[in-house]
Amino acid sequence: MISETELSALLSEAGDAIPTPAGVEAILEATRAAQPIATSAPISTRSRFTSRGFMLKALGAAAVVALVVSVAVVSSSPQPTPTAFHAAVTPSNLGLPETSTAFAKSAPVAAARPANGAVPPTPSTPSTSAAAAGSAASSEKIISTGTLRLTVTTSGLGRTVTKLAAIATGLGGYVTESNVALAGSSRGGTIVINIPATDFQKAIRDAEALGTVKHLGTTANDVTGQVADLGAQLGALSAARTQLEALLAKAGTIPALLSVENEITSTQSQIQQLQAQQRVLASEISYSSLSVSIAPPAKQATPPRSGFSKAWHDAITHFVNGLSSFVADAAVVLLALLLAAVLAILLVLAGRRVWPIVRRRLL
């Protein structure tokens, strides 16, 4: 068998030969996007910057659209109507997909964010529970998470797990993760439950009652800006798709047709991605996550024994050890005796069958 040292060396070499990707930045970026803030904190400045950045993009897009419209008006018709506008942009020069793409993507953005900066309404997403309705009713979109550390009796670990699951289901939630060791030296573990956001505090209170609270932490991540941005982007892309469909009807050449169709496919794909994000976000807003770590209380060190107590304890220990050794040794002897008895029986049985034959031959 391969020795442990050789195996360690081979695995180390194989593992170290694997190039590590630059994933640290990606994770930091992802966590930055989901940066939790204090429950009572105001809306994060990040979302404001995002909205401002988005508005600047919208204004820039509006300027581009205005420029395109001006060019179209000057080159085609003195009185631009929507039909004339499309005619100016599309039929003759649709062989230049860049132009139509730029138009298709930028115009709806401007439409989604009008001059007064109002955020278009978020398209409806599947409502998962009554909590979702409650959450949607408020203007702020919050993703709440909590962490609770409980100490429970060793015998009560299983019961606590069951009760936590009952709390989740009783409030219309569910258990997402359960890693609890009910036996062995390291008993305890973690249960993560998702409950409707409206019942988050009630769930915490109910869970607190199951043991001695060692730690309680909650975070609230304000995603109002993110939800608004998603809605705006979806509105913009939907408008872009409508525009592209109109262009498709007017495409006069096969390359133009293919170009517009490609754009529609790409836009549709983006819409579906954003809708998926919106559904995930709605689910996270509707359901709060509570991670409950449960563990039995730490054992207190027993004071060292002395005097008669120590002597008695030593005597008992030695007696038990001696008895264990005796039983272990006796077991070997008994096993040997058992084997000998089985052999003897087999020999007797064989002898009874063989002896008459031998005697007949001898006689």
Partner 1 sequence: MSEATDRLDLEQLLQQWYAPAYRTAALLISDSGRAEDAVQEAFLRLWRFRDALPEGEGLRPWIYRVVVNACYSSARGETRHSGRRASGDALDELTSDETPAEEVLETLDRATSVRRAIRALPVDLRVPLVLRYYSGLSEREIATAIRRRPGTVKSRLHEARRLLALDHDLAQFAPGSPENNENEEAR
To partner 1, the closest distance from the beta carbon of 6 in angstroms equals 5
Of the candidate residues 72, 167, 192, 232, the single one contacting partner 1 (CB under 8 A)? 192
Q: For residues 76 and 277, which CB has a smaller minimum distance to partner 1 in the complex?
A: 277
**Is 328 among the residues that bind partner 1 (CB under 8 A)?**
no
To partner 1, the closest distance from the beta carbon of 154 in angstroms equals 17
**Is 150 among the residues that bind partner 1 (CB under 8 A)?**
no
To partner 1, the closest distance from the beta carbon of 167 in angstroms equals 18
To partner 1, the closest distance from the beta carbon of 43 in angstroms equals 14
Alpha carbon 14 to chain centroid distance?
A: 30
DSSP output for 208-246? HTTSEEEEEEEEEEE-HHHHHHHHHHHHHHHHHHHHHHH
Q: For residues 81 and 186, which CB has a smaller minimum distance to partner 1 in the complex?
A: 186
**Is 154 among the residues that bind partner 1 (CB under 8 A)?**
no
Question: What span, in angstroms and rounded, lies between the C-alpha atoms of 319 and 273?
Answer: 72
DSSP output for 19-33? PPPSHHHHHHHHHHH
Question: What span, in angstroms and rounded, lies between the C-alpha atoms of 50 and 45?
Answer: 9
Q: Do 285 and 135 form a contact (C-beta atoms < 8 A)?
A: yes
Q: Which residues contact 68 (CB under 8 A, 6 or more apart)?
A: 89, 102, 103, 107
Of the candidate residues 186, 300, 302, 306, the single one contacting partner 1 (CB under 8 A)? 186
Q: Do 68 and 103 form a contact (C-beta atoms < 8 A)?
A: yes
How far from 152 is each of 212, 220, 336, 355, CA to CA, in Å? 7, 27, 49, 73
Q: Candidates 16-24, 203-211, 318-326, 332-340: pick the segment binding partner 1 (CB under 8 A).
A: 16-24
Angle at 354 between CA 348 and CA 359, to 5 degrees: 120
Q: Give 37's DSSP letter.
A: B
**Is 7 among the residues that bind partner 1 (CB under 8 A)?**
yes
**Is 37 among the residues that bind partner 1 (CB under 8 A)?**
yes
Number of residues that bind partner 1 (CB under 8 A): 45
**Is 33 among the residues that bind partner 1 (CB under 8 A)?**
no
Query: Which structure tokens are listed for 149?
Result: 């550390």
Residue with tokens 């942009």: 89
**Is 184 among the residues that bind partner 1 (CB under 8 A)?**
yes
Q: Give 49's DSSP letter.
A: H
Q: Candidates 1-9, 154-162, 248-256, 324-332: pick the segment binding partner 1 (CB under 8 A).
A: 1-9
Binding mask 197-216 for partner 1 (x = CB under 8 A): ------------------x-
**Is 17 among the residues that bind partner 1 (CB under 8 A)?**
yes
Q: For residues 27 and 328, which CB has a smaller minimum distance to partner 1 in the complex?
A: 27
**Is 347 among the residues that bind partner 1 (CB under 8 A)?**
no
To partner 1, the closest distance from the beta carbon of 135 in angstroms equals 20
Query: What are phi and psi for residue 220, nearest 5 degrees?
Result: -130, 120
Binding mask 266-305 for partner 1 (x = CB under 8 A): -------------------------x-x------------
Q: Give 115's DSSP letter.
A: T
Of the candidate residues 114, 117, 217, 297, the single one contacting partner 1 (CB under 8 A)? 217
Q: Do 141 and 223 form a contact (C-beta atoms < 8 A)?
A: yes
Q: Which of residues 41-80 bind partner 1 (CB under 8 A)?
A: none
* Helix locations, the chain, DSSP H: 4-16, 23-33, 45-75, 82-89, 97-112, 130-137, 157-170, 200-208, 224-250, 254-286, 307-362
Question: What span, in angstroms and rounded, lies between the C-alpha atoms of 31 and 244?
Answer: 36
Residues in contact with partner 1 by CB under 8 A are 1-4, 6-8, 10-24, 26-28, 30-31, 34-37, 145, 147, 149, 179, 181, 184, 186, 189-190, 192, 215, 217, 291, 293
